[in-house]
């Protein structure tokens, strides 16, 4: 599995600024108990490990189907489906974020 980061570089005066973009995380699901559990696990993992990430809950079935997900909950990180149909452990989430 390849790892990559998007880095933006800009010059302000004589100073070079770089910024590593945050991870994009989507929890796909209709709001069921398992979907809520995935959201909690993800938010706990990123807050406890000081990870820069945005978490979005996607409940619209048409949007969920764009990811070829037929069973929820599902976890999408940077556009890639990582988990379908179950609640990941906090350690699994951290592994995907590194």
Residues with active-site annotation: 32, 35
Helix (H) or strand (E) holding 50, with range, is none
Nearest 5°: CA angle at 56, between 27 and 42?
55
* H helix intervals, the chain: 33-48, 61-65, 90-97
Encoded tokens for 28: 């796909």
């Amino acid at each position: 599995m390849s790892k990559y980061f998007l880095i933006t570089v800009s010059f302000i005066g004589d100073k070079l600024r770089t910024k590593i973009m945050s991870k994009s995380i989507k929890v796909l699901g209709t709001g069921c108990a398992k979907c809520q559990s995935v959201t909690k696990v993800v938010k706990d993992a990123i807050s406890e490990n000081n990870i820069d990430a945005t978490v979005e809950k996607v409940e619209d079935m048409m949007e969920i189907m764009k990811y070829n997900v037929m069973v929820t909950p599902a976890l999408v990180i940077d556009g890639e489906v990582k988990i379908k149909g179950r609640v990941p452990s906090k350690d699994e989430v951290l592994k995907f974020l590194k």
